[in-house]
Amino acid sequence: MGTTRRSFLKSSALTMAATTLFSKEIFAAFAKNGFVGIQLYSVRAQMGTDALGTLKALSDIGYKYVEHANYVDRKFYKFSPAEFKKVLDDHGILMHSGHTVMAKKHWDVDKNDFTDAWKYTVEDAAVVGQKYVISPWLDQSMRNTMDDFKRYMDVFNKSGELCQKSGMKFGYHNHDFEFTAMLDGQKLYDLIMTHTDPKLVAQQLDMGNLYNGGAIAGDIVKQYPGRFELMHVKDEIKSTLGNGEKYESTVLGKGIVNTKEVTDTGRNGGTKYFIIEQESYQGQDPLDAAKEDLAIMKKWGY
């Protein structure tokens, strides 16, 4: 994993035409069968020390789709949007989705508009090739009261309108609190599903996170058929981490989630993006876990 940013930029011009053609070919295949990829948080330490080498390793394993979890100061893993797009193209990788928390600071109440920081987030997502700008968190300040919550669901819908102008869609990714927190006697997740416009706000179901909130992934998929355009494909075991959570993620098929059944139900309901995420490894190297996870998905027919 010794590829340098300088050597990449030098070679990328020579390979641009070939990788662009390859990207079109893999897009055509994915568009027909669904996109199977990996959330880069799964290999966060490796991406932090050697992003180029890690992406090459993932490509060599067989991953042709990734989802980012690092956008800081208008850069993806320390690359500008245009640079990171070239990185992806050079490895024949697509990235239609990414995680960036939309926080309270991104909405200017006085101006009734998004701050420049969020406008840049959407703009940069479009440059790097995203089709979904996904917020993986809902700050406590946005859900203290029903009025607070409804105001920010309206902001979610407005973010969908903003993304739509650039040919993208806003999305939300759950954790576990959405299934335990209540407002006016209703679970927060049910309220999110009720108060977001499906035409503007996509839902990305994390089928593992919700177990810490006492929910069952299969039940949620059946409760809201057709609502999940994207899924985090994950499995869970009882936690040994001592971090206060009941469960931790593990290699697909080794836990309690019934991952294949949930994934199949999603596909039958129109889910197009199946993104592997493994955050805990039980001593296994994260890249080895990523390789095993992809092999299992292929065995399952994905």
pLDDT tens digit sequence for 19-56: 445 556 655 555 567 999 999 999 999 999 999 999 99
Give dist(CA 219, CA 205) in Å, integer: 12
Q: What is residue 23's predicted lDDT score, i.e. its pLDDT?
A: 53
Going by DSSP bridges, is the β-strand pair 132-135/169-173 parallel, antiparallel, or unpaired? parallel
Q: What is the CA radius of gyration of the chain?
A: 19
Half-sphere exposure of 271 (CA within 13 A, CB side): 26
Q: What is residue 25's predicted lDDT score, i.e. its pLDDT?
A: 63
Where the chain has pLDDT below 50, the residues are: 1-20
Structural contact between residues 66 and 37, judged by C-beta atoms closer than 8 angstroms:
yes
Q: What is residue 10's predicted lDDT score, i.e. its pLDDT?
A: 41
- Identify the CA nearest to 176 among candidates 239, 84, 98: 239
Q: What is residue 16's predicted lDDT score, i.e. its pLDDT?
A: 41
pTM: 0.90
With b for 16 or more beta-carbon neighbours within 10 A and e for fewer, the 175-204 pattern comes to ebbbbebebeeebbbbbbbeebeeebbbbb
